[in-house]
Each structure stands twice: as structure tokens, then as C-alpha cells.
Structure 1
């Protein structure tokens, strides 16, 4: 089970300039006061391989200050510096950034991109109603949909979008997410998509398979 968040990219500068700078490796450094000591905090952005569909891979290694009460050599400290490691993919032509990490970490990783490069990022919200409708498609003989609500009630089946309860749920704004099982390529993929756009995959996919699946969801 792994979490993925997708962000739509709006360039603040010309696209060609952004494409040029994000292809390179970068190192940033800042000084921050931690436990009455000036710590040097480093951030590295390593540009790696490009996927067959045009996503550029980046590995972000960054020093993070964490509030943590502890004792070291007889002295109490209130903060520690830990090293965070994040994996993201950026598609320059589709203006799309995919963070393969927990939701909180996704905002940390993409925030580094947004702060360092001339771009604005907005978390993408997938068309949940379209995904539910798509699950009733003729392909849906194998689809299994479970709708989750704020009240903890779940609906399960292939024709739930035609029920009065489903209509009432939408009208009252109770929808929180949907779990769907899709046949995709040679795999059966079970995933959850929430109303805030976070994806949670229950099926093991490699990174390229995950990106292909996300492209399919964008098209719905």
C-alpha cells in the first residue's frame, strides 16, 4: 500500500526556462538556529532518468528541523535535524508533478520545488464522479466500487450511482472518497481516491506503471 499525490504546475516564467533549470542537479544551503547553534541545512535535488512517457525523476534529499524533546550528553534539546528523502516525477509537457510519498511528505517535497523554481503548484483533484461513472462502463464487469462517506457509511457494488441513496449523499456533500478495482493492462489495480485528490494504491505497481495509471485517471 502506498500513497501518491499529484500537482498541476503553473509556470511563473517561460516554460523553456523552467525546463532548462529543472533538468539540472541543484544544491541549496541555509543557516538556521537550532538549539542555540547555527546549523547548516542542505537540500539536494538530483535529476535522474526520464520515463518512457516523459516524466523526469527527481530525488530530493533535505535536512529538516524537527521539534523533539531529548537529552544528549546530559543536556536537554528541543529540536533535532533529520534527513528527509523524497521521490517525485515532473512532466514538463503536461505541467504535472507526481509525489510518490505520504500526503504530508508530498507537500514538503513539492514545496521545495515551488520555493526554488519559478512555478506554482496546486494539488490535483481527480474527477471522482467520473471515476464512479466509468466504473459502470461495459468494462466494469470486473469493477468493484466502494463509496465512503463522512458518516462512515459505505456503498458497494457496480450500480450504486443509480440509487437514490447515492443521489442524496451527493446532494448533502457526504462523499469523502471511493475505492475502485480496475483492470489495467495485465494487472488488476485496487486504489482509493479521496476528494482532496490523494491516491492510495493497494496493488503493488512499479513507478512507471503508477505513472501510466495516473495518466489514465487524468483522462477521466
Structure 2
């Protein structure tokens, strides 16, 4: 099981947006930690490009964490840990995909937004379109489960035509949908929430995940 968040990219300066495709970047800042000036480093490494044009980046960054501990007889209130994140960026589709938990996705993409001429907005997938598509056009291959804020779930085909479904939408109770269907040579089960976060229950390679996301964007 793994989480994915997608962000739509708006270039601030189109002329210089291509600078992020360099082989590597290094940034450093100084922050006061436990009464000591720590140098915090961030490295962004450019790796391979997927067959569909996504550039892979690995982010290694020092992060200050509030944590009460004792070291060599002295108490400290903060520690510096090293975070590691995987990002895929597609310059033509203006799309950034973070292969990490939702909170970590905002950390990783925040580094891109602060360092490069771009604005990012988390993409919210057309969840109603996914429900309609899965219960209508592809009903022979799809299994869909709808989740609500009250913990009630709906499962089966044609559920989007029920009165309960209509009442749920009008009252804003929809929180997410879990869908299972065939994609390529695999049967994929995933959850998409109303805030756009994807949670995959099926093991996919990174390239398979990117292809799947492209399909969701088209719905």
C-alpha cells in the first residue's frame, strides 16, 4: 500500500522553468537548533526520464524536528533528521507527482515551489466522473465502493442512480471512493479521496503508477 499526491504546475517564469532539469542542485541555509547554528542541506538529484516523459528527482533534505531527548547528559528540544522523497515532474503536462504520504508530499513539493519559478496546486481528480465511469461505461470490469463522512459505504453497480447517493452528494458527505478494475495486465485497487490523495492497495512499479495517473487525469 502506498500513497501518491499530484500537483498541477503553473510556471511563474516560463523562460527559466527548464532550469530544474539540471543534474543536481544543492541548497544550504542556517537555522538555530538547540542554541547552535546548524547548516541544513538540501540536495535535489535528477535521475532517469520515464518513457512517457516524466523526469525523476530524488530530494534529500535536513529537517528540524521538535523532539525532547537527552544526549550526553544534556536535554535537547530539537533534532535534525534527513528526509528522502521521490518526485516525478512532467514539463509538458505541467504535472508533478509525489510518491509519498500526503504530509510528506507537501514538504517535498514545497521545496520545489520555494526553489524554482513555479506555483503548485494539489490536483483534485474528478471523483464523480470516476464513480460514473466505474458504474456505467466499464461496469463489466469495475467494482466501486463509496465512502462517506458518517462511515456508511455503498458498493455495487448502478449506485450512482440511487436516491441515497443523490442525498449523500447534496449533503456533502462524500469522502472518497475505492475502485478495483483491470489496467493493462494487472487488477488495480485504489482509493481516491475528495482532496485528491491516491492510495494504492496494489503493487505497481513507478512507471505503471504514472501511466495509471495519466488515465485518471483523462476522466
* TM-score, length basis structure 1: 0.97
Helix, strand or coil at the partner of 2:20: helix
Q: Deviations over 1:92-113 (max 9, x none)?
A: 0000000000000000000000
Matched with 1:25 is 24
Cα deviation digits, residues 19-39 of structure 1 (max 9, x gap) = 233333100000000000000
> Which stretch of structure 1 is more off in the superposition, 79-88 or 181-190?
181-190
Computed over aligned residues only, the root mean square deviation of the Cα atoms, in angstroms, reads 0.9
Q: CA deviation at 1:158?
A: 1.5
The ranges of structure 1 where at least 4 consecutive aligned residues each deviate by more than 6 angstroms after the TM superposition are: none
Do residues 204 (structure 1) and 177 (structure 2) align?
A: no
After superposition, what is the alpha-carbon deviation per residue over 1:178-209, rounded to whole angstroms, capped at 9, x for unaligned? 00012111111000000000000000000000
Aligned-residue offset at 1:15: 2.8
Q: Which residue of 2 aligns with 1:10?
A: 10
Q: Is the 8 A contact 2:23 2:47 kept in 1?
A: no
Measure how far apart 1:16 and its partner are.
Answer: 4.2
Q: Count residues with an aligned counterpart.
A: 218
Tell me, in whole angstroms, the C-alpha distance in 2 between the residues paired with 1:25 and 1:158. 49
* Superimposed CA distance per residue, residues 25-75 of structure 1 (whole angstroms, 9 cap, x where no aligned partner): 100000000000000100000000000000000000000000000000000
Give the alignment's TM-score, normalised by structure 2. 0.98
Cα shift at 1:142:
2.5
Q: 2:136·2:157 contact (CA, 8 Å) conserved in 1?
A: no
CA distance in 2 between counterparts of 1:33 and 1:143 reads 53
